């Protein structure tokens, strides 16, 4: 009988990431985007690839006016989960803010198609630029 070495899970890192996420989400809820972004960026470094963290950080970055960074985060979510309606909506909003109207409308249309009952998505699509700059 051989004894295999088992790697202990890194509970500290997981706990720290979760703590940063929860605290960051609370700051975001209270509209303190800068504080939220700091904590959420740390959480994402500790747990790369977590779409829940990417989404919250993307919302914070958008609120801070860092639309390109937010677009990268929401784009990563869309790459992982192509049927995530909110990620398409948020990515469309980012592209609109960056003056990329045609790309904005593409993602807003996808969000609307994925959730046709959403008034938020319908309004965003109706208010989106036809193309070119915002």
- Residue 18 three-state SS: helix
pLDDT for 15 equals: 84
**What pLDDT score was predicted for residue 9?**
44
Residue 8 has pLDDT above 80, yes or no: no
Residue 94 Cα distances to 60, 83, 121, angstroms: 12, 18, 14
Per residue in 17-34, pLDDT (tens digit) is: 999 999 999 999 999 999
Give the whole-angstrom CA distance, residue 82 versus residue 74: 11
Contact 114/83 with Cβ under 8 angstroms? yes
Residue 4 pLDDT level (bands cut at 50, 70, 90): low
Structure pTM? 0.85
What CATH number has the domain spanning 67-134? 1.25.40.10
Dmax (CA) of the chain: 69
Sign of CA dihedral 51, 56, 61, 65: positive
Q: What is the predicted pLDDT for the residue at 47?
A: 94
Q: Would you list the domain boundaries of the chain? A: 10-64, 67-134
Q: Which tokens sit at 132?
A: 């070119």
For residue range 43-86, what is the model confidence (pLDDT) as tens digits?
A: 999 999 999 999 999 999 999 999 999 999 999 999 999 999 99
């Amino acid at each position: 009988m051989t004894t295999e070495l088992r790697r202990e899970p890194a509970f500290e890192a997981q706990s720290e990431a979760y703590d940063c996420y929860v605290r960051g989400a609370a700051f975001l809820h209270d509209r303190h985007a800068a504080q939220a972004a700091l904590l959420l960026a740390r959480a994402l470094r500790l747990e790369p690839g977590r779409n829940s963290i990417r989404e919250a950080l993307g919302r914070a970055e958008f609120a801070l006016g860092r639309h390109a960074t937010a677009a990268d985060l929401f784009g990563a979510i869309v790459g992982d989960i192509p049927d995530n309606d909110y990620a398409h909506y948020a990515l469309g909003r980012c592209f609109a803010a960056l003056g990329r109207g045609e790309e904005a409308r593409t993602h807003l249309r996808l969000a609307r198609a994925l959730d046709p009952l959403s008034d938020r998505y319908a309004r965003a699509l109706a208010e989106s630029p036809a193309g070119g700059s915002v």
